[in-house]
Chain A
Amino acid sequence: MKDPDTALCRFCESKIALPGSFYCCAGCEVLDDLKDQKLTHAPRSSEENLNLIKHYGLSSKNSTDFEVHVEPLVCEACLQSLVQLPQHFPSLRNIEWYRSEGVLKFEFPKGAEDPHRLYQFLERMKLTPRWRSPGDAKSGRQKKRTDILRLGVLGAITANMMLFAIPIYAGLDGPMKTLFEWIQFFTFLPAFFWGAIPFYRTAWVSTRLGVLSVDAPLVVAFVLGSVYSTYSLIRGEGELYFDSLSSFLFLILLSRTILESTLARHLEKPSFERFLPRTQFTVLRTKLDGTKFSELTPWQELRSSDRVLFKSGDRLPIDGTLLSDIAEFETSWMTGESEPSIKQKGARVQAGLSLISAEAEIQVLQPATQTLFSELVGHLKSPPEKLSVSLESKVGNILVLACFALSLGLFLFGSHLGFSEILRRSIALMIVACPCAVSFAAPLARAEVSSLAAKLGAWITRPQIWNDIAETQVIAFDKTGTLTTGGLSLSPHSPMVDDHFKKILLGLERDSKHPVAEAVRRAWSHVSPYEIKDLAEVPGLGVQGHWGVDFYEFKKVSHAPATNKNNKGLAIELRRNNEPCLILEFSDGSRDGLSDFLCQMAKEYQLYILSGDESSRAKEVAKSLGIPETQAFGDLTPSAKLEKIKELKPDMYLGDGTNDLLALQEAPISVSVGAATLEAQSASDILLLNGDISFLKKIFEMANELRSVIKRNFALALAYNVLAGAAALMGWINPLMAAILMPLMSLSLLLSTLLGTRRLREMKVS
């Protein structure tokens, strides 16, 4: 007997989360439709199939493979659905799922390919498939396989090598010792000729480019040690370092793999998730008997018609309908405007909005992957790399040079030690003092802080920029859309309006989407409008309608009052029965709270305004924001802005429009603000998606703290390098100890970075 309280999926018999449904997911519904029937096979020669085979098929002797990116599978049943796919596709030979890549691979026998039908099927399962080009697929997977193979084989070599090395350390002598040494030599060969290839490659490429690489001393030490050990083996006397060298190779590769995968996890998080302060939400569910219960659900699994309880500070990952009576949202992510928007019960709320009210219940209309917000996030791309030499590469280079110089010094001035001892100490020095840890610890810390910044509203497209941010002194701003909202708001120069006219105006503008209508609604959001009859909007002219017996029009002033010199905005008049009764002025207002923030900034930084608008307006805005008028420039075309950037040399430029593109590309740090154009965003290092310039202060704080974490790491690494290097020079550390110490130090720096940034994260969140 089934539990009557628990509804089970008709197809896979899993529990159903959504009351009233027969299936647990779209996949099961589709598969149940197909139960006991096979799909008819579409001809391979159909136009769609031929196109897909040409562009996305990877042909081998007997088969053709296709790969598609799919949305994460939501439940066990989805996985089952995929396993059962070959039952419904007579021509499908095999299917593989690469979970870490979010990729499905299909294999069709040659001559019976039907990728188009399969694609349609995945679409029906709501897996939003996207084709993957065969080149990407092959190279990515091949690299991953080679990395695993290299690590595994080096591990086996090292373990075997130690088995034969330990008896020698324990005092084995005679022919057996010679035998063990030769076994070590042959075991070592694959490590030398194949295992160390990544190090040879990096060292070779950097040498050709004329730059120092942390791998250079490693390769020198490795090759030198191998050649000397081989020479000693053939000669029958002298020390052998095969065990030390292979241990070192394995351990350094292992620690790099750990560091790289940690770094990759931070950088390759789904970009969408980076924008969500909280990624799990409470879904309110009802059992069939009416009992209510709640369930914490990840953002990817919010489905249409789920009722979700959001809390203050949450950013909505879905589009939905508001079920609570009233809720206030910050809309800046989508509109660039900082004014909160009040929504009433039944209103549609978009993904990307941030909840200001304490709580709101929302019913999902569109899941996260089908929203405009997810589309926008998908468009964000990293800008072309600007050249900058990072602190860690400078320090790394100094350490590499120091290693080489000290080794050379040892050869020049340590002749009394004997060649064998000099070589032993040099190898130990170059291994132990390699600055690998430094080169990893800093990028890792930057990736962590970038991830935190994204959650708070700033997308850092180039993590290396953090070093420059901490050193910023001069900042230039665009005016319209950056310092001002770019939208209209009721000007403070407008006369007082009594409630009667407010109600008339709100009634007239009730359905209009015009910026003036938005400004009116924002200005008097708590006033209820009159019901206006015969309401009509005449494009270009304004709105009109009847209230009682009077005919009202709200339209642009035909003759603007020429005497009013302060009139900088748009004048709109309300006419009653063709007689003017009220003139309102609308202007592009400065963003809320900006004045205080910029006044404070002006004390620490040199600020400029560069605007395409009239000079007088630029100076007026500068004055209102506490920036000296002499530092505000107007009437600038995009190329004039570029010239001004070259002349003033600001460290940072903030803009939002296509007219800022040249300036953004020229500035060392470029920031696009709010709902900037896609072009402006793609040229920027930082995207302030919430449009809140005062967030710059947080970014500067983060940059400073990050710098102190990185500096602490450098100090640790430097202390380790000096101490361990000195010990190696004195001959207190042999190459085997060096091989173990070095990766350990790399991992301890990684730990220090993670701890340092975690403290930063906790502090910021609180």
Chain B
Amino acid sequence: MEKEKNVSTYNQSVSDDSALSRRDRKKARKRRIKESKRQTGFYAFRTKDAIIRAIKAILVGIAVALLVGGIYTIITKVIPLTLYPLHPLVIALVFISMFLVLGIVMAIAFVPAFAISFFGLRRGDKSFAKTIDEQFYLKESMQTMLEHAGDNSEMASLQREGVKEKVNGLRHRMLKPKKLYIYIISVLLSALFIWITFCIPYRIIKEEPVTATFKLTDMQEKKLKQIEASVMSSDMKSPAKEEVAEEIAALTNALKVTTDFDTAKSLVELSVGNGSLEGHIDMLTKKAGTAYALHDILVEDDTAFVREIGRLLTKLDSERFKEKREIIRQSFVHKDFSKQDEEGVEIEIDMEKVTSDTVKLLRDNASELKRALELSGIDSADSLYMALLKVTIDMEALASELEDGSINYHNAVGRDEGKGELINVISNGIYFALDKQNISYSVGFGASDEIREMFPEFGLKAPQREDNKNEKKENDKEDEENDEEKDTDGGAGDGDVFGSNDLIYDKEHGQIKYGEVIDKYHQIMNSSSYTEEQKKIMQEYFDILYRGLEDEKGE
């Protein structure tokens, strides 16, 4: 009777719909659908389904967490574990922290896996109704009911009643999770996986970590002494000179008692006042722009070591300057073509050729000098500028006279000799008048290289100049392109080996340090009964070896 009442009530509400607006009809339809779902126990099934989904999502989460945990465990097993000192407490702490991390990793993996599964496994009403129909043999009643939930026909209301009756006869608890075994198997497989990973032994290193030992070699000590001596003999003013010398001496003493390579390295780095000289040197070089400016900056640096390097570079550059000046001077001095054979008979010379060569030489020099003057930036009113300009004019005039035969070669030489003194005077200025920027730049590079080359002396890797880095990159590209032409067998090493603690192969002892070998040879040389002449030859050999390696580095 009550059921009949429900149906009639429902029909009553349906008939009322016709009087409603379209929007209200829609609302009423939605309300009916909701009511139908409630009456037929659809929501109750939904709740049960949510529980089942949650169970499945938990299983998925566990499986994923175990899987991720297993991967983490494998990683911890693959990476060697250094446990020193091997105190039980240390070991316990390490393992506790590892398991804590494992737990955190698994928890992190579980949460998204659970969330994705829970919401991913959610089915639409239709799909869920289909499941209910299949599980409870409802003969598609639930699906049909859902489809016609908003239907206002008599048959639809009867159908709803029918579904309600059927569902009331069912126990919602009987809603079985579909394919639950797959989830359980996944968890079991993941558990098996993590168990296997637990069985993999740790790569525990129980020995004391081997640290590289250091012993200041004779060569290194000698080099330091040289630097100290050069400082003392330099033009540096006191007390800076003494300070630098003391600092170098202190470094030498400290290195003598140091047995740990890392400590020695730190000491050297500290003594130069900068953990990484590369940046410092590059910064200074860039700031300087020219070799002279670099010298000035280096000698005024806060670090005594850098100041000393600046001084050494000044000295080095003055020598180079001398060489350069000589080359220039030579180009202005004529050559003596009057040659004699062994018996003193004068050799006949092709004077035409000599004349033409001289003309060419004079014009080339005049042209070069003129170009240098233009580029030098020297004021044209400057006396030096005027003198140099006159030289170029004279040289060109002389060349013209020689060429048109106004004068002969010997007359020209005589006139040239008269200018010898003038050439000597002005050759000093020519250096400054030449392409200043080019010279300064090359000298700047030289200075930078000198500093860099000192690094291997202390077992440090020489920092690479920024320009070289770029150059190297370009070269690498070219090498890749010309891969077939690449010679992999050649090369004399990188030059960092000399005097360092790098390992080399020794037939008797296997891997030994290069510095030790050199020291050993020195000791043998000094302690044995070689004659002074033999010792000198051997010393020269070592010097050549040392210089050769340095030249390679320079190249």
Are A and B co-members of a single complex? no
Binding site for B on A (CB under 8 A): none
